[in-house]
């Protein structure tokens, strides 16, 4: 059957596109599409070539393992080719892989060795008589580049092996990668020194390893995990992949601490789900997990296709990056007046979530990345952070793309825009006269951890401000059920509920009240420290900068903001109005009780067997401590119960003190609860 002309043309077009993207990625280190889009192009080409084998040519991108090596480093011919890995994107594809493996071997069940798939670059390291003698990149799988001098600078890669029993001559294969923290530090540095920032840790690792001056590589925070072998005498191999990795470790070669042997495909899929959950708290980027038939004998029976082993597959996580178009840039006014540019995007799926806007952080960032309206951009959503624009694909810029200028006046109230003393930020000078700031202030005041006014949402606040029913937070307490019932989407019942919620919120604590006021830099924990220290609002309002700055955990900047806040006549008026409306808190007796956990920040993860999460939270708070939801460098303790989640990983990563349930109970007892 003749191949339709349209198919012929499409195949040619796919090849040309893929070749171009290979060049952008491998030679220029500057891709213009995301990995997921590249994978999709390759998958389409492979599918068409499978359907019409007569179209396959030796120079098709599907017929080679990677990209050509570049000229700068001496070429190294791999004695054992460095194959690539097949990808699976769905559970179904993984099940099909497992089925093929079992049918080929004629067995019921296979044990797989699983490990995270690090997003770095593959290298092969040769050890001779226990010494590192050569290291090479993967290149096109057959010929790589000699990067020995650079790999020698990676501190975790042993130059001499430990222990005993290693073969006289063998190769370790693994991934060189850059941990996220080091990547961010590196980018802050390159930014300050006016150098090019790296789009992601993978590019940073590749760029660092391919430095012509190893002194530069030595300053880069590179790390390495081994995941396999190249040259290796058959008779010295253990029975399984997992045992080989254990041996590597005993010789001082780092391997992933998350590697695991599982039974059958269901074990693989469970491993995948666990790793996907932990993905965001890992100290490095992982773009999936890899399953390998554990038994070497079985690996040998399965063998290889032209491209990849039949005994291994990479199960990819949803992509972190996608390309889309910037349709507009809006300016948001925050509670403290900071103007933040936000890109409105043509909606796109990123990592399993639809993304339609991305923060641009500040106008300096917009200028640095040269983001214009109409540009095609790569967006990225990693970890728990807000989506970001990584870079512009300048090649796709339409002629009428519009540059983004920082506004000279606040887009909401028209007040003059002033530069923040820090430099990068700009701020609306309208203060509480700016409706946007007023709205944000009211929203903050009503929020759950502040005055906790249930039912007072953003839409309602909009209406109250528009109709002039509320100008400041104190006006909330003068609203009547009749006024509320007349608003859109409100009936007599919800109006009455809101009045009751307002009434209930009047009874609060000094810490919550201070937090609700929205003083700059005074978050929940600082508010608690102030409440504990001063016991009353009056005492706090009398304190001067020096006294405040002496308090542990406060500092001079916060002290300045507190004093400035209480000097504003408008703020004093609002506070007075709030108290007249009946806002009150437990007085000083309780504040005077001892607070042995004052200022300490706790995070809970997992289930406690002796008490509920609420109970634990209350007991910590009664002792002056504070409970937050996410782990940061400021966290003092992470309490881990049964089945802890990713917060535990994060705590380990940041070196935060971890308490098990018994230790937590001991701490409470010691503190006198």
Quick one: three-class SS letters along 132-174? EEEEEECCCCCEEEECHHHHCCCCCCCCECCCCCCCCEEEEEE
Nearer to ligand D41 by Cβ, of 118 and 436: the residue is: 118
Q: What's the min distance (Å) between Cβ of 487 and ligand D41?
A: 56
Count of CB atoms situated within 10 Å of the CB of 363:
21
Nearest residue to 447 via CA among 503, 495, 517 = 517
237 makes contact with ligand D41 (CB under 6 A): no
Choice from 61, 267, 309, 351 touching ligand D41 (CB under 6 A): 309
**What Å distances lie between residue 269 and 39, 101, 130, 274, 276, CA to CA?**
22, 16, 38, 9, 10
312 makes contact with ligand D41 (CB under 6 A): yes
Choice from 122, 209, 514, 529 touching ligand D41 (CB under 6 A): 122
Region binding ligand D41 by CB under 6 A among candidate stretches 80-88, 421-429, 614-622, 660-668: 80-88
Is the backbone of residue 352 left (phi > 0), alpha (psi -120 to 50) or beta? left
Q: What's the min distance (Å) between Cβ of 64 and ligand D41?
A: 13
| Inter-residue contact 434 to 418 (CB < 8 Å) | no
Nearer to ligand D41 by Cβ, of 100 and 504: the residue is: 100
Q: What's the min distance (Å) between Cβ of 554 and ligand D41?
A: 45
Nearer to ligand D41 by Cβ, of 81 and 167: the residue is: 81
Nearer to ligand D41 by Cβ, of 136 and 537: the residue is: 136
Interatomic CA distance for residues 414 and 430, integer angstroms:
8
The continuous run of DSSP H or E covering 21 comes out as helix 5-22
**Six token digits for residue 210:** 């391919």
Q: What's the min distance (Å) between Cβ of 175 and ligand D41?
A: 4
118 makes contact with ligand D41 (CB under 6 A): yes
Nearer to ligand D41 by Cβ, of 115 and 145: the residue is: 115
Which SS3 state, helix, strand or coil, does residue 122 take?
strand
Q: What's the min distance (Å) between Cβ of 313 and ligand D41?
A: 9
Q: What's the min distance (Å) between Cβ of 309 and ligand D41?
A: 5
Nearer to ligand D41 by Cβ, of 174 and 351: the residue is: 174
428 makes contact with ligand D41 (CB under 6 A): no
**What Å distances lie between residue 291 and 119, 208, 282, 305, CA to CA?**
16, 28, 19, 17
DSSP class of residue 394 equals: G
**What Å distances lie between residue 298 and 81, 104, 170, 477, CA to CA?**
19, 10, 21, 74
Active site residue 117: yes
Nearest residue to 338 via CA among 389, 387, 385, 407 = 407
Interatomic CA distance for residues 450 and 522, integer angstroms:
12
Q: Binders of ligand D41 among 139-178, rule CB under 6 A?
A: 175
Nearer to ligand D41 by Cβ, of 122 and 517: the residue is: 122
228 makes contact with ligand D41 (CB under 6 A): yes
Nearer to ligand D41 by Cβ, of 313 and 627: the residue is: 313
Q: Using CB atoms within 10 Å of the CB of residue 109, give its burial: 0 to 12 exposed, 13 to 18 middle, 19+ buried.
A: exposed
What residue spans of 506-660 are helical by DSSP H?
510-516, 524-534, 537-542, 545-550, 555-567, 569-580, 588-592, 613-622, 646-654
Choice from 73, 198, 227, 272 touching ligand D41 (CB under 6 A): 227
Q: Using CA of residue 88, residue 116, residue 311, residue 271, what is the dihedral sign?
A: negative
Interatomic CA distance for residues 581 and 400, integer angstroms:
56
Region binding ligand D41 by CB under 6 A among candidate stretches 116-124, 333-341, 390-398, 458-466: 116-124
125 makes contact with ligand D41 (CB under 6 A): no
Number of residues that bind ligand D41 (CB under 6 A): 14
Residue-wise DSSP of 230-257? SS--GGG--SBHHHHHHHHHHTT--B-T
Interatomic CA distance for residues 506 and 98, integer angstroms:
62
| Inter-residue contact 256 to 227 (CB < 8 Å) | yes
Q: What's the min distance (Å) between Cβ of 287 and ligand D41?
A: 8
Find the catalytic residue in 117, 391, 647, 650. 117
Interatomic CA distance for residues 555 and 582, integer angstroms:
32
Q: Binders of ligand D41 among 559-618, rule CB under 6 A?
A: none
Which SS3 state, helix, strand or coil, does residue 112 take?
strand
345 makes contact with ligand D41 (CB under 6 A): no
Q: Binders of ligand D41 among 85-114, rule CB under 6 A?
A: 85
31 makes contact with ligand D41 (CB under 6 A): no
Q: Binders of ligand D41 among 277-296, rule CB under 6 A?
A: 290, 292
| Inter-residue contact 293 to 312 (CB < 8 Å) | yes
Q: What's the min distance (Å) between Cβ of 402 and ligand D41?
A: 40
Region binding ligand D41 by CB under 6 A among candidate stretches 5-13, 81-89, 365-373, 497-505: 81-89
205 makes contact with ligand D41 (CB under 6 A): no
Please compute, for residue 156, the number of CA atoms within 13 A of its CA located in the half-sphere on the CB side: 19
Q: What's the min distance (Å) between Cβ of 209 and ligand D41?
A: 14
136 makes contact with ligand D41 (CB under 6 A): no
| Inter-residue contact 171 to 231 (CB < 8 Å) | yes
Strand-strand pairing, 169-177 and 223-229: antiparallel
Choice from 35, 115, 223, 649 touching ligand D41 (CB under 6 A): 115
Region binding ligand D41 by CB under 6 A among candidate stretches 36-44, 78-86, 530-538, 582-590: 78-86
Nearer to ligand D41 by Cβ, of 289 and 322: the residue is: 289
84 makes contact with ligand D41 (CB under 6 A): yes
| Inter-residue contact 251 to 170 (CB < 8 Å) | no
Nearer to ligand D41 by Cβ, of 302 and 549: the residue is: 302
Region binding ligand D41 by CB under 6 A among candidate stretches 83-91, 160-168, 340-348, 464-472: 83-91
Summarize as ranges the residues that interact with ligand D41 (CB under 6 A). Answer: 83-85, 115, 117-118, 122, 175, 227-228, 290, 292, 309, 312
Q: Which residues are catalytic?
A: 117
């Amino acid at each position: 059957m003749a191949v339709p002309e349209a198919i012929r043309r499409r195949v040619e077009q796919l090849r040309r596109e893929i070749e171009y993207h290979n060049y952008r990625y491998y030679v220029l280190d500057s891709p213009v599409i995301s990995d997921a889009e590249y994978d999709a192009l390759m998958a389409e080409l492979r599918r068409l070539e499978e359907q019409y084998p007569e179209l396959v040519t030796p120079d098709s991108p599907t017929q080679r393992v990677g990209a050509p090596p570049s000229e700068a480093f001496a070429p190294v011919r791999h004695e054992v080719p460095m194959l690539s890995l097949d990808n699976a994107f769905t559970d179904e594809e993984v099940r099909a892989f497992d089925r093929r493996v079992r049918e080929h071997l004629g067995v019921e069940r296979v044990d797989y060795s699983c490990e995270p798939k690090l997003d770095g670059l593959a290298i092969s390291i040769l050890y001779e008589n226990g010494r590192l003698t050569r290291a090479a990149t993967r290149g096109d799988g057959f010929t790589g580049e000699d990067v020995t001098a650079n790999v020698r600078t990676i501190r975790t890669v042993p130059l001499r092996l430990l222990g005993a029993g290693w073969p006289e001559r063998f190769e370790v294969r693994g991934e060189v990668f850059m941990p996220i923290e080091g990547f961010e530090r590196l980018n802050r540095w390159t930014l300050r020194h006016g150098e090019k920032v790296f789009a992601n840790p993978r590019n940073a690792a590749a760029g660092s390893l391919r430095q012509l001056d190893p002194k530069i590589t030595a300053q880069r925070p590179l790390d390495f995990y081994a995941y396999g072998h190249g040259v290796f005498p058959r008779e010295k191999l253990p029975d399984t992949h997992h045992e080989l990795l254990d041996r590597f470790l005993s010789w001082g070669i780092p391997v992933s601490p998350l590697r695991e042997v599982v039974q059958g495909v269901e074990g693989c899929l469970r491993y995948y789900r666990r790793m996907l959950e932990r993905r965001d708290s890992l100290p490095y980027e992982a773009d999936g997990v890899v399953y390998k038939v554990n038994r070497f004998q079985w690996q040998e029976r399965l063998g290889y296709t032209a491209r990849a082993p039949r005994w291994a597959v990479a199960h990819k996580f949803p992509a972190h990056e996608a390309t889309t178009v910037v349709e507009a840039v809006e300016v948001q006014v925050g509670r403290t007046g900071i103007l933040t540019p936000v890109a409105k995007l043509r909606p796109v799926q990123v990592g399993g979530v639809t993304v339609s806007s991305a923060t641009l952080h500040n106008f300096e960032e917009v200028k640095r990345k040269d983001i214009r309206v109409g540009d095609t951009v790569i967006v990225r959503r990693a970890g728990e952070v807000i989506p970001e624009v990584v870079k512009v694909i300048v090649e796709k810029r339409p002629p009428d793309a519009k540059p983004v200028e920082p506004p000279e006046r606040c887009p909401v109230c028209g007040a003059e825009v002033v530069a923040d003393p820090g430099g990068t930020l700009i701020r609306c000078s309208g203060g509480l006269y700016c409706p946007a700031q007023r709205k944000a202030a009211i929203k903050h005041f009503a929020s759950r951890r502040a005055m906790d006014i249930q039912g007072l949402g953003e839409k309602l606040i909009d209406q109250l401000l528009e109709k002039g029913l509320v100008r400041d937070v104190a006006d909330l307490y003068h609203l009547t059920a009749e006024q509320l019932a007349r608003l859109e989407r409100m009936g007599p019942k919800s109006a009455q509920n809101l009045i009751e919620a307002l009434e209930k919120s009047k009874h609060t604590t000094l810490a919550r009240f201070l937090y609700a006021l929205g003083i700059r830099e005074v978050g929940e924990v600082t508010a608690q420290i102030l409440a504990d220290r001063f016991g009353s609002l009056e005492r706090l309002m009398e304190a001067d900068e020096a006294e405040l700055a002496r308090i542990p955990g406060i500092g001079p900047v916060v002290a300045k903001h507190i004093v400035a806040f209480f000097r504003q006549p408008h703020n004093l008026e609002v506070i007075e109005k709030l108290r007249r409306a009946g806002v009150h808190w437990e007085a000083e007796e309780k504040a005077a009780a001892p607070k042995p956990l004052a200022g300490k920040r706790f995070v809970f993860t997992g289930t406690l067997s002796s008490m509920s999460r609420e109970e634990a939270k209350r007991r910590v708070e009664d002792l002056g401590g504070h409970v937050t939801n996410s782990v940061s460098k400021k966290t003092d303790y992470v309490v881990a119960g049964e089945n802890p989640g990713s917060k535990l990983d994060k705590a380990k990563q940041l070196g935060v003190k971890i308490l098990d349930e018994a230790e937590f109970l001991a701490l409470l007892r010691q503190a006198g609860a």
